[in-house]
């Protein structure tokens, strides 16, 4: 069974939060979540922020939602036979926080223009032609 733990690997004031996904004893994947936190207010026992202030409680809620999402996606990947890798985990984190969309197209205008150029031969026009 897969397990998730959130860890900080730095002592700096604004340390990145890592998600550690353990799939088995020999397969452990770790990726940055894109969230940052002060290690002084981090509980190493729970692997979550201490619950002293409202913003810490909100961050804990976000991390728990991320944990549930990733575990659901791991189960789906196992059903479909998809290999869970570091790139897969980073993609799932970005999808959860809506940094990218499911069609893997970024929100940059340059990428949208390039997509139009690449698919120009296959697009239907207003008259139904290609």
Question: Residue 127 domain-assigned?
Answer: no
Distance separating alpha carbons of residues 107 and 105, to the nearest angstrom = 7
Any domain includes 116:
yes
Q: Taking all residues of the chain, what is their mean pLDDT, rounded to a whole number?
A: 88
Q: Does the residue 24 lie in any domain?
A: yes
Residue 74 domain-assigned (yes or no): yes
pLDDT tens-place string over residues 85-126: 999 999 999 999 988 777 666 667 777 788 778 877 776 777
Distances in Å between the Cα of 14 and the Cα atoms of 58, 66, 80, 121 are: 17, 20, 38, 48
Q: Radius of gyration (Cα) for the chain, nearest Å?
A: 19
Does any domain span residue 28?
yes
Structural domain containing residue 118: 3-122
User: How confident is the model at residue 116, as a pLDDT?
Assistant: 78
Per-residue pLDDT, 109: 78
Count of structural domains, the chain = 1
pTM: 0.75
pLDDT tens for each residue of 18-30: 999 999 999 999 9
Q: Per DSSP, what are the bridge partners of residue 43?
A: 48
Local structure of 129: helix, strand or coil: coil
Q: How confident is the model at residue 71 (pLDDT cuts 50, 70, 90)?
A: very high
């Amino acid at each position: 069974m897969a397990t998730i733990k959130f860890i900080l690997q730095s002592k700096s004031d604004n340390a990145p939060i890592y998600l550690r996904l353990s799939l088995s004893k020999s397969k452990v994947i770790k990726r940055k979540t894109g969230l940052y936190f002060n290690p002084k207010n981090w509980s190493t026992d729970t692997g979550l922020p201490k619950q002293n202030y409202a913003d810490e409680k909100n961050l804990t809620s976000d991390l728990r939602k991320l944990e549930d999402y990733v575990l659901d996606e791991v189960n789906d990947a196992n059903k479909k036979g998809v290999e869970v890798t570091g790139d897969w985990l980073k993609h799932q984190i970005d999808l959860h926080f809506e940094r990218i969309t499911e069609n893997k197209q970024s929100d940059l205008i340059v990428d949208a223009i390039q997509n139009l150029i690449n698919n120009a031969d296959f697009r239907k026009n207003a008259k139904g032609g290609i």
